[in-house]
Structure 1
Amino acid sequence: MAGMKYLVEGQRWVARHRRQWGFGLLPGLITAAGYAVALVVLALRAEDVAAWATPFADGWSSPWAGLFRGALTALFFGGGLLLALLSFTAVTLLVGQPFYEALSERVDREQAREGEPVPESGLPLWRDLWISACESLAVLVRATLWGLLFFALGFLPVVGQTVVPAVGFCVSGFFLTEELTAVALQRRGVRLRERLELLRSRKMLTVGFGLPLVLLFLVPFVAVLVMPGAVAGATLLVRGVEGEQEREAVD
C-alpha cells in the first residue's frame, strides 16, 4: 500500500503541473508507436514460430497438436509482451532522458527542506545517456533471464497457468520500479548494483509501486499517459527511502 501511495502521489504531482505532464507524453508516444508495430508483427507470426519450433508435434492426433501449439503460441506472445513491458520503460526513459531528468529534479526541489541541497549528477548529458543505456541493458538482460525461466515454468500443469504468471507480474513490477527510480538515483550517484540491493531490501515497497504499473501498462496507451507521473512518484519513493535510512541511522 505504501508503494501504491507513492505512485498515486506522483500522478497527483503531474496533475498539478500539467505542462510537465504534456511534455512527458511525447517520448512515450514515440516509443509506444514503435512497440505497437512490433507487437502486431509478433501476434501475426507467433503461431508460425510455434509450429516451426515443434516439428515433433506434426504427427500428433487431433486436437492435441493444436492445443499444444496454441498454448505455446500464447506463452511465446506473453513472453514478448513481458519483454515489451520491461523494456518500454527503459527505452522511453532513454528517449526522454533530458525531460525526465528535469522533472525528477523539480520534484526534488519542491520536496526539499530549507537549505537541503538538490542532488545533481554533475555529468554531461552524453555521459548520463551512456550510463543509463548500459545499466538499462544490464537490467533488461536480467529481466529476460527471468522471463525465460517463467516461460519454461509455464508448461507445468495448473501451477504454470496460475502461480507462475502471478509471480511473473511481481518480478516485472520489481524491475519496472528499478528503471523508474534510476532517474532519481543516478543523480545521487547510486549505480545499478547499489540500486538493486536497495530495492531488494524493500521488496514489498518496490513491488507495491511497480505491480500496479505493470497492470496499467497492459491497457493500450495507458503507459504513455502515466509515465510522467510514474517518474515523479519514483522520485518521491526515493526520497521516502532516504528518509527511512536517515531515521534508521539515527536509531
Structure 2
Amino acid sequence: MRDLGAGFTYLLKGQRWVAAHGKQYGFGLLPGLMTLVLYMAALVGLALWGEDAVTWATPFADNWSSPWPALFRGFLTAVLFALALLLAVLTFTAVTLLIGQPFYENLSEKVDRDVDPNGTAPASGLPLWRELWISARDSLRIVVRALLWGVLLFALGFIPLVGQTVVPVIGFFVTGFFLTEELTAVALQRRGVELRARLTLLRSRKTLVWGFGTPLGLAFLVPFVAVFLMPGAVAGATLLARELLGEETEEGDDDTADDPEPEDVTQRSWR
C-alpha cells in the first residue's frame, strides 16, 4: 500500500513539474492533440458503423426469434466498443510517444537535469532515426502483449458475476502497468535499458507501478484528459524511472522553468 501511494505521488509530482515549466508543457501538448484527433475519428466511425459490422459478422442470428437477434447484436456491439475503448487507452500512450518522440525526449532530459544533484541527464547517443525505430519496435511488442491481455479479459468477461466485477478491476491494473511501461521507456531507453530489462524492473515494483499507472489509466478514460496529462505523465515517469534505478533525486529549481528554449527541441530532433 505504501508503494501505491508513492506511485501516485510521482504522478502528481510530474503534473506539478510541467505546471512550473510552461514551455515544456505547451510543446508536450501537440503530439497528444494529434493522436486524439486520430483516435476520435476511429471511435466515431466504430460508433456509426459498429452495429452494421456486427450484423454482417453474425448471419447465423438472422433466423432467431425476436427479440434475441437485436439483444445479442446489441450486446456484441457494446462489447466491441468497450474493447476498442480499452485498446485506445492501452495504445494512446504508445502512439503519442512515437509521434512526439523529440518533444518528450527533450522534456524527460530537462526533468533529469532539474532533479539530478549534478545537473546532468543520461543520453543514449543514438541518432533520432535509431531512437524512433527502437521506440516503434518496443511499442509494437508492448501493444501485442496488451492485445493478448485484452483478448483474455474479454473472454473472462463472460463469466457470471466475476466478469462484471473482478475482471474490470484486473483490466485497470493491467492498463496501468502497460501505461507506465510506455511512459518510463522514454527515460529508461536513454539509459540503454532494453525492453526485457524494463519489464523485469517494473515487475519488481508492481505496486509502485500500479500506483502511478492505474489512476492515470482511469483518467485517460475521460475525453480529452489524456492530452492534457501526457506532458506531466512523461515528467512523472522520468522521476519514477529514477526511483526504480535507485538514482539520487533532489527537488528541482523552478527558476529554470522555461528552459530549454524551443530551439533546443529542434536541435535535439536533428542531432
Classify the TM-score, shorter chain.
Answer: over 0.9
CA drift at 1:58: 2.3
Question: Partner letter of residue 95 of structure 2?
Answer: V
Unmatched 5+ residue regions in structure 1? 246-251
Unmatched 5+ residue regions in structure 2? 249-271
1:23 counterpart (19, 24, 27): 27
2:186 counterpart (175, 183, 186): 183
Normalised to the residue count of structure 2, the TM-score between the two structures is 0.86
Deviates most, 73-82 or 158-167: 158-167
Residue 86, structure 1, aligned to residue 66, structure 2? no
Q: For residues 37-76 of structure 1, what are the structure 2 equivalents within 5 Å?
A: 37-76=41-80
2: distance between equivalents of 1:165 and 1:193? Answer: 27
1: distance between equivalents of 2:116 and 2:156? Answer: 46
Residue 230, structure 1, aligned to residue 227, structure 2? no
**Residues 183 and 234 in structure 2, CA contact (< 8 A), matched pair in contact too:** yes
CA drift at 1:237: 0.4
The residue number in structure 2 matching 1:249 is: none
**Residues 75 and 154 in structure 1, CA contact (< 8 A), matched pair in contact too:** no
2: distance between equivalents of 1:2 and 1:66? Answer: 47
Deviates most, 55-64 or 40-49: 55-64
1:204 counterpart (207, 226, 250): 207
CA drift at 1:67: 2.4
1: distance between equivalents of 2:244 and 2:65? Answer: 57
CA offsets 1:24-53 (integer angstroms, 9 cap, x no match): 111111111111100100111221222223
2: distance between equivalents of 1:161 and 1:48? Answer: 26
2: distance between equivalents of 1:151 and 1:142? Answer: 14
Residue 127, structure 1, aligned to residue 130, structure 2? yes
Q: How many residues of Structure 1 are paired with residues of Structure 2 in the alignment? A: 244
Would the alpha carbon gap of residues 164 and 186 (structure 1) be closer, same or farther in structure 2, given more than 3 Å must change? same
2: distance between equivalents of 1:107 and 1:43? Answer: 40
Give the alignment's Cα RMSD to 1 decimal.
1.5
2: distance between equivalents of 1:44 and 1:216? Answer: 25
- Report % sequence identity: 69
**Residues 112 and 120 in structure 2, CA contact (< 8 A), matched pair in contact too:** no
CA offsets 1:111-139 (integer angstroms, 9 cap, x no match): 1113x752110101110001000000110
